Every structure is written in C-alpha cells, then in structure tokens.
Amino acid sequence: MRIKRLIMYFVLFTLALLMLMPFAWMVLSSFKEADEVFTYDMTWLPSSISFSGYYRALTEQPFLKYTFNSIFVSLIITVAQLITGVLAGYAFARLNFPGRNLVFIIYLSAMMIPSQATIIPSYILIRKMGLIDRYAGLTLPFLAGPFGAFMMRQFFLSMPESLEEAAVIDGCSRFQVLGKIILPLSKPALASLGLFTFMGAWNDFMWPLIIINRDAMRTLQVGLSLMRADLYPDWPMMMAASVMATLPIIIAFLSAQKQFIQSLAFTGVRY
Amino acid sequence: MHSKWKRLGNEQTKTALLALLPSFILFCAFTIYPIFYSLYLSFFNASLLSPTRAYVGLNNYVNLLQNPTFQKAVRNTIHYTIGVVPIGIALSLCVAVLLNNKLRFRNFFRAAFFAPVVTSMVAVSIVWTWMLEPNYGLINGVLAKVGIAGPGWLTDPAWSMTSVILLSIWKNLGFNMVIFLAGLQDIPIEINESADLDGVTSFQKFRYITIPMMRSSIAFASIVSMIKSMQVFGQIYVMTGGGPANSTMVVVYYLYQQAFEFYRSGYASAVAWVLFAAILILTLAQNRLLKSQ
C-alpha cells in the first residue's frame, strides 16, 4: 500500500514537473542576456539575472500599448456580454412573448456555428462600416452572443419565480425586479460568464489579426505573434514579453483557482 | 392574484422585446447574417479586393476538393486530430483518476495541470518554439547531454506535426482533466468500497469500474476535443506557418490564407462551409450523446 502511494506521488510529481517545464524555461530564459542564449551547451540558469529582455520588450516594442489595447478590448467585451446576456437570458427565462421558443431554438442552434465559418462576412461587414483599425471593429462582433443568453437563461430558470411575482404585483417594473432582486442573487453565474468571456477575449487571436493593420491598435496576442516573425529572434526579449503576457492570467488563476475551474467546467458545453 | 399576473402579458411582450433587442441585433448581424452570406459567397468567384463577383455555381467546391493543398490540409487536420485526441484523453483520464485519490499537494497538482489551459495559445506557442529551437533550445540541449542529436523539430517536415501535437496535448490536458474529475465525482463510493473488500486490484477497478462508469464523460470530452482539433489555428500560425513544405497546413490555416492573404473570399467561404458541415456532424453526434444520458 505504502509503495503504491509512493509510486503514485512519483508519477504525479514527474508529470506536474513536465507540465511546468515550459513555464520554467520561459521565466529563466527571460532573465538571460541577449547573446547568452546562443550557446551550444544549453544551461537552465542564467549566468546572472538580467532585466535587459524586459527592458527591450518595453522600449523597443509598443508592449504597453498592446497590453492596454488587450485590457480595454477585453473589458468592453466582458461588460457588454454580461449586460446583453442578462437581458436576453431574462427575456427567455421569465417573459412571455410571441415566438419566444422559436427564437430560443435559433440561439441554441447557432452555438454550433464555429467562428471561422462567419469570419469572412463579419470582416466584410466591419470593413463596410469603416471600423478596420478601430476599437469598435475589435469589439463589436463579440458584444453579445448566444452562449451568454443561454447560460443566463438556464441560471434564471433555476431560481424560484415567487420572488419576482410578489415584486411585480407590488408594482415594480421588470427592469427594477431584474436589477434589485435577480442580479444580487446571480453573482456566481455572472462571475462565471464574466471570467469565461474575459479569458476568451484576452486570448482571442484570429479576429484581431485580420481586423487590425496599424501597430498601435494591435492586441497583446497579435503583437506577440509578430515578435516571433522577426528574422533574428531575440529570445530573452520574447520570453520576457511572454512572461508579462501570461503572468497576470496565471496570478488571477492561482488566486481564484476554484472559480476558474468551475467557470470552465460550467461553460464546458462551449469548449 | 394570478389573473393580475396574467394581465401583465402585453406589457411583458414590450419589456421582453426591449430586453432582447441588443442581443438580437448583434446576433443577427454577426452570426445569422454571416453564416448565410458565406454560403451565398461560396457560389461566387469573389475577391476581398474587388466589388464585382461572378456566379460560378458549385465550382468553388469542385476546385476545392481537387486542390492538392486543401487535400493535404484535410489529411493533416485528421492526422493532428488522431494525434491529439486519443493520447490527450487517455492521459488526462489517468491524471484525473490519480488526482481523485486523497492526496497531499492536491491543489498544487491540479494547478500545475490546469495552468496551460488559462494561458494564451500565442504566448505558449512562442515558448514552445524556443524550447524546440534546434541549436540552442531546451529539448535538443537536454538530448545532446545524453548523446542524442535532436531533430529540427519545427523545421523538419517529418517532425513538425508531432511538435504541434505535443504542444496541443500539453495545453489541453487540464481541460479534459476537469471534465473527468467532475465525472469521477458521480461514481458512487460504495462501488469502489465493495470492490476493495473483494480484493480487486487498482488496475481491475480502473478497467471494470472507472472506464464503464465514465463512458459518457469520455465520449463527451472526445467529441469536444475533436471539434477543437478541427479548428486548430493559433499554434500553427505562430510555430510553423503551415510549413515546412505544407507539413502542418491545416484546414483553418488554409482558410485564413485563402481569405486574408490571397483575398479569395468566395473560395475561402466554400472552405468555411466544408469545415462547418464537418463540425455540425460532430456537434449533432455530441447532442445525441448528451440526450441519451
């Protein structure tokens, strides 16, 4: 029994170290000098801790601008998704209107559509609207989605209706009911949807890649991918940039591990 | 009381339309309209650079299916899917079963396996590119220390797809692990306890209790992984650009190139619809599976 447990720990530790190895390599390389990485005798540790990679990422590349763009765009998308998702989800869950089931079925079916299947017409539409190289062009297609509406509907349906019934009979409008009674009770669902949306927007790559041409408008993901395209790769600088791009998400993940995993398990239907 | 509740019906319709409107407009503009417009475009010879287009019927589809690069992209996508899904599912199932025991450091293990899931594909692809760098990278450095000359992981067509597959298995392991951990919670404890009393070995428990009880979780995770695999793009764009010699050319990268590098919007729309049809079949299979549970 004891030996079996030892083997189990050994296997798990080995696998966990393998999983963390790329992160360790990223962090250690980011502290190396630019030419130090070009040695045939590979070493893990930098000869001395150098911040020059970070310095170059922040000065030679508009890294802060990329970061700002990513934060700004992801926040707008997240807030908008929460608003449109709550409103639509509430309409589907609680309000009777003609055609409700039909519209809901269309929403449900649309979740099967992969984003690549709609990307060309979306691009043409955004270009016609003159929104290439604009924040509006980066965000507009993602301000609402069938998934948010679906998820909020399911959550609202799981709440007892009696709470609202009393408030409506007392003369509250539906929007007051939503704001004062329902939303305070919906924090877990809002947190899950918000986290999921933010991560999706932060990590999104293909849309910002095609919709942005101007360097100052690029998001972090696109900016990072272009550093890679350089003919003479500056690895410590790229690793420093990768550290800065992944660290905020990793810290957020470590401090709210449960919520992250729940959010992804809860939203797992939508890979 | 209930009649008053019902009389609010008309008011309700107005409120409902108002609440649904923002979501509905965006949904129509960026999901419903594009999916039909891309079907329409796929019957035209159209370019993103010119406003004119000519109707060509099914020509785009015929050309597509005969195009050697597209055929290669389909084969590579299948190769990638077969490389990622079975190994990824098996590995994450094993990890989930191990983590389902009473363990010290359980949170550490779970975080270690899940961390790649939350980090961006572009960033980890750059890190892996550096790790797999043939002359100065980590992997070949370690191999050299034990006397093996490692290959040009991303520059040798024989190894490039394997490299991308390894990255993807690493990146998605935690995601499937979470699905399996949830599934393992649903296995009644009594079953495993009575098996222990009967002196059943761990391997037998895994083979005759865990796997059959987890059948639906495994099927669900497999189909989700297959759908994700068919949409692979970010790691290809960053690590190989479809090369060398088209050895990592996959369907979505082909679509991206045709549409946004060669501006062939009609032809690329046909690619989009072929992809959509394939994903639709998998999704319908998934829905049927979820219903049968």
Model pLDDT for residues B182-201, shown as the tens digit of each residue: 888 888 888 878 887 887 88
Residue A173 covered by a domain: yes
Q: What percentage of chain B carries pLDDT values higher than 70?
A: 96
Residue with tokens 């960026």: B30
Parent domain of A85: 63-229
Average pLDDT, chain B: 90
Query: Which residues, including other chains, have CB under 8 Å from residue A187's CB and lie 6 or more apart?
Result: none
Q: Please answer whether residues B161 and B83 qualify as being in contact, where contact means their C-beta atoms are separated by less than 8 angstroms.
A: yes
> What would the two tokens of residue A265 be?
């398990």
What is the pLDDT at residue A177? Answer: 85
Give the closest-approach CA distance of B33 to chain A in angstroms.
Answer: 8
What is the domain count for chain A?
1
Best mutation target among A17, A42, A102, A204 (most B Cβ atoms within 10 Å) is A42
**Residue A107 falls within a domain, yes or no?**
yes
ipTM of the complex: 0.90
| Model confidence pLDDT, tens digit, residues B147-170 | 888 899 999 999 999 999 999 999
| Residue A189 belongs to a domain | yes
Render B5-69 in DSSP notation, one character per residue. Answer: HHHTHHHHHHHHHHHHHHHHHHHIIIIIHHHHHHHHHTTEEEETTEEEEEE-TTHHHHHHHH-HH
Considering only CB atoms, which chain A residues are within 8 Å of B234? 205-206
Residue B278 is assigned to a structural domain of this protein: yes
What are the pLDDT digits (tens) for B67-117? 999 999 999 999 999 999 999 999 999 999 999 888 888 889 999 999 999
According to the model, what pLDDT value does residue B245 have?
92
- In the predicted model, what is the mean pLDDT of residues B121-140? 92
Residue of B nearest to A222 (CA): B122
Residues contacting B78, CB < 8 A, separation 6+: none
Structural domain containing residue B271: 60-292
In a domain, A134, yes or no: yes
Q: Is residue B203 part of a domain?
A: yes
Would you say residue A237 lies in a domain? no
Nearest to A114 among B16, B182, B231 (CB): B231
- The beta-carbon neighbor of B16 closest among A39, A91, A257 is A91
Q: In the structure, what pLDDT confidence band is assigned to residue B6 with cuts at 50, 70 and 90?
A: low
Q: Output the pLDDT for position B5.
A: 53
| pLDDT confidence tier of residue A271, bands split at 50, 70 and 90 | very low
CATH code, domain with A105? 1.10.3720.10
> Is the CB of B233 less than 8 angstroms away from the CB of A113?
no
Question: Which H or E element spans position A20?
Answer: helix A2-30
| B120 part of a folded domain | yes
To the nearest whole angstrom, how far is the Cα of A101 from the nearest Cα of chain B? 13
Chain A residues whose CB is inside 8 A of the B47 CB are: none
B226 DSSP assignment: H
CA–CA separation, B293 vs B281, rounded Å?
A: 19
Number of domains observed in the structure of chain B = 1
CATH number of the domain enclosing B149: 1.10.3720.10
Task: Give the whole-angstrom CA distance, residue A133 versus residue A18.
Answer: 40
> Which of A263, A264, A224, A70 minimizes the C-alpha distance to B124?
A224
- Specify the 3-state DSSP secondary structure of A34: coil
Q: Compute φ and ψ for B46, nearest 5 degrees.
A: -130, 150
Rounded to the nearest angstrom, the minimum Cα separation between B229 and chain A is 11
Q: For A16-28, what is the mean pLDDT?
A: 94
Average pLDDT of span A87-92: 94
Which residue carries 């960053």 as its tokens? B238
Percent of chain A clearing pLDDT 70 (strictly above): 95
Does B20 map to a domain? Answer: no
Closest Cα in chain B to A254: B111
Residue of A122, A149, A210 lying closest to B23 (CB–CB): A149
Asked if pLDDT for residue A270 goes beyond 60, the answer is no
Q: Is residue A137 in some structural domain?
A: yes
Does residue B2 have a pLDDT over 60?
Answer: no
Interchain CB distance below 8 Å, B233 and A116: yes
Least confident segment among A70-79, B120-129, B201-210: B201-210
For residue B135, pLDDT over 80 is answered with yes
In this model, does residue A269 exceed pLDDT 50?
no
List chain B residues with CB under 8 Å of A220.
120
Q: Taking CB atoms and an 8 Å cut-off, how many pairs form between chains A and B?
A: 283
Record the pTM. Answer: 0.91
Q: What is the band of B8 on the pLDDT scale with cuts at 50, 70, 90?
A: low
Residue B140 pLDDT more than 80?
Answer: yes
Name the closest residue on chain B to residue A149, using Cα atoms.
B23
Task: Say whether A88 and B19 touch across the interface (CB within 8 A).
Answer: yes
- Mean pLDDT across B25-30: 95
Q: Is residue B269 a part of any domain in this protein?
A: yes
B166: in domain: yes
Contact call for A250 and B115, based on CB within 8 A? yes
Whether residue A259 lies inside any domain: the answer is no
- In this predicted structure, what is the pLDDT of residue A81? 96
pLDDT digits (tens, 9 = 90+) for A167-186: 888 888 888 888 888 898 88
Q: Is the pLDDT of residue A40 over 80?
A: no
Closest-CA distance, B255 to chain A, in angstroms, reads 8
- Confidence category of residue B1, pLDDT binned at 50, 70, 90: very low
List the structure tokens of B264: 């062939």
CA B205, chain centre distance (Å): 30
Residues 6+ apart with CB under 8 A from B18: none
B25-47 average pLDDT score: 95
pLDDT band, very low/low/confident/very high, at A65 (cuts 50, 70, 90): very high
E strand residue ranges, chain B:
44-47, 50-55
Q: Which pLDDT belongs to residue B199?
A: 79
Is residue B254 included in any domain, yes or no?
Answer: yes
The answer to whether the CB atoms of B38 and A254 lie below 8 A apart is no
Q: How far is A271 from chain B (nearest CA, A)?
A: 6
Q: Check residue B220 and give its pLDDT.
A: 86
| pLDDT at residue number A52 | 87
Asked if residue B37 is part of any domain, the answer here is no
